[in-house]
């Protein structure tokens, strides 16, 4: 169990990674433990500032270099723990599989903001043949990679931090690396196509990761990325533009040219549909003793819908054609 200050560093780290301006109110809103939202928060923030982990500039909280080093380790461990528990349970839930089939249009376990149209793009419009090797960064349970490998007879490499037994790996053509997307250079990979679906938010150094992927010869990239603004008042709306998101900043900084497909409306509709479908399966989740997962999912979906209703979200596929 992590302590209160660690939780604050974790949340600040993740918000910074998503290009958010961080007010104390936003931090309070994002802390997941009820106890953390208490009056103690301000004194904890003061103490983290005094110890040199945080800075306050123009009412915005920032990590110092020392704070970022500390927060990186804490956050990695917390993200791993959260996803492992969640995906481990969801991949054993038949209510969740039924839910996936209805919202994603494929009867496979998925943990992303794709709808059928986006999945069909991945499965039908990425130029792939049997000679290709596709790398799926943050592959989750490996569902999309499996569908691609089955369809094209290509090789697949999935990287995730989940234990091997969570992974659905029916084919010998798939190699699973139980590892870290920030350590891809250690794995000496030579993909011809790199896919990342809703996983880049968790890189601790997106700039370095993108540089490494870009240095692989003939490696096309397909990166799905949603950009949100969590603070309506304080947030800068321009970051929702396709050339201004966090991933676009990194691509631009490295002079990597890209094309985008706007999937904002798809994500909004996915939330709308998920809300309807989820409610239908409430009893089934309850019967499996997974009511907490149902409630967690409901909260995620309602938050996504609210962001789109308030024009505080966008989603794009970034396509990098490779050299
Ligand atoms: C939102 S899920 C998306 C999963 C999958 N791409 C899908 O579409 O269903 C994010 C995934 O990233 C993985 N992840 C987060 N941080 C990671 C890291 N540093 N290295 C490898 N995988 C990571 C999580 O375990 C999780 O499976």
Position in ligand 1 atom list of the atom nearest CA 159: 21
Ligand 1 atom 26: the closest Cα is on which residue? 140
Retrieve residue 237's tokens. Answer: 């709306």
Q: What angle do CA 118, 296, 54 make, to 5 degrees?
A: 95
CA 90 / ligand 1 centre spacing (Å)? 14
CA of 128 to the centre of ligand 1 (A): 23
Nearest CA to ligand 1 atom 27: 140
- DSSP designation for 212: H
Q: Categorize the per-residue pLDDT at 273 as very low, low, confident or very high, splitting at 50, 70 and 90.
A: very high
CB of residue 157 inside a 6 A radius of ligand 1: no
pLDDT of residue 97: 98
Tell whether the model's pLDDT for residue 15 goes beyond 90.
yes
C-alpha 232/C-alpha 44 separation (Å) is 25
Average pLDDT over residues 303-317: 97
Which residues lie below 8 Å from residue 3, measured CB to CB, with a gap of 6+?
A: none
Q: Examine the pLDDT at 152 and tell me if it is beyond 80.
A: yes
Does residue 241 surpass a pLDDT of 80? yes
Residue 259 three-state SS: strand
Ligand 1: which atom is nearest the Cα of residue 143?
Answer: 9
**Ligand 1 pocket residue status of 139, Cβ below 6 Å:** yes
Say which residues have a Cβ less than 8 Å from residue 34's Cβ, sequence separation at least 6.
Answer: none
137 lines ligand 1 (CB under 6 A): no
pLDDT on residue 172 = 85
Nearest CA to ligand 1 atom 16: 202
Q: Is 202 in the pocket of ligand 1 (CB under 6 A)?
A: yes
Angle at 120 between CA 118 and CA 124, to 5 degrees: 125
The confidence band for 202, taking pLDDT boundaries of 50, 70 and 90, is very high
Q: Residue 227 to residues 188, 209, 272, 292, 316: CA-CA distances in angstroms?
A: 30, 18, 18, 27, 8
Is residue 35 classed exposed, middle or buried when 0-12, 13-18 and 19+ CB atoms within 10 A define those classes?
Answer: exposed
pLDDT band for position 1 (cuts 50, 70, 90): very low
Ligand 1 centroid–CA 168 distance in Å is 14
Would you say the CB of residue 193 lies under 6 angstroms from ligand 1?
Answer: no
Percent of the chain at pLDDT exceeding 90 = 85
- pLDDT at position 2 is 62
CB 147 within 8 A of CB 126: no
User: What would the mean pLDDT of 70-83 be, rounded to a whole number?
Assistant: 94
Q: Using alpha carbons, list the distances in angstroms from residue 212 to 184, 203, 207, 237.
A: 8, 13, 9, 30
Q: Is 111 in the pocket of ligand 1 (CB under 6 A)?
A: yes
Name all domains of the chain by residue range, CATH numbers in brackets: 4-81 (1.10.10.10), 96-265+311-320 (3.40.50.150)
Asked whether the beta carbons of 118 and 266 are under 8 A apart, the reply is yes
**Ligand 1 center–CA 226 separation, angstroms:** 14
SS3 content of the chain, % helix, strand, coil (to 5): 50, 15, 30
Strand, helix or coil for residue 320: strand
């Amino acid at each position: 169990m992590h302590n209160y200050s660690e939780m604050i560093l974790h949340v600040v780290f993740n918000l910074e990674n998503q290009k958010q301006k961080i007010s104390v109110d936003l931090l309070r809103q994002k802390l997941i433990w009820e106890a953390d939202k208490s009056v103690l928060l301000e004194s904890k923030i003061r103490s983290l500032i005094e110890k040199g982990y945080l800075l306050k500039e123009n009412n915005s909280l920032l990590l110092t270099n020392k704070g970022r080093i500390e927060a990186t380790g804490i956050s990695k461990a917390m993200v791993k723990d959260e996803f492992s528990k969640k995906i481990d349970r969801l991949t054993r839930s038949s209510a969740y599989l039924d839910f996936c089939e209805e919202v994603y249009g494929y009867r496979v376990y998925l943990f992303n903001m794709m709808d059928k149209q986006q999945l069909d793009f991945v499965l039908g419009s990425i130029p792939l043949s049997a000679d290709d090797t596709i790398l799926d960064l943050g592959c989750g349970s490996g569902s999309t990679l499996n569908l691609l490998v089955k369809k094209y007879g290509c090789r697949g490499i999935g990287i995730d931090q989940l234990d091997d037994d969570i992974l659905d790996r029916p084919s010998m053509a798939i190699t699973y690396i139980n590892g870290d997307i920030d350590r891809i250079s250690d794995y000496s990979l030579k993909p011809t196509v790199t896919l990342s679906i809703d996983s880049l938010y968790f890189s601790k150094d997106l700039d370095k990761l993108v540089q490494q992927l870009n240095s692989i010869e003939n490696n096309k990239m397909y990166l799905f990325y949603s950009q949100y603004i969590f603070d309506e008042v304080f947030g800068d709306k321009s970051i929702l533009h396709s050339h201004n998101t966090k991933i676009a900043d990194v691509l631009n900084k490295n002079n990597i040219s890209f094309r985008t497909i706007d999937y904002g409306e798809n994500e909004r509709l996915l939330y709308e549909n998920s809300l309807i479908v989820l409610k239908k399966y409430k009893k089934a989740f309850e019967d499996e003793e997974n009511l907490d997962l149902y409630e967690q999912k409901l909260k995620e979906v309602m938050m996504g819908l609210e962001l789109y209703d308030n024009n505080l979200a966008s989603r794009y596929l970034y396509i990098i054609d490779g050299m």
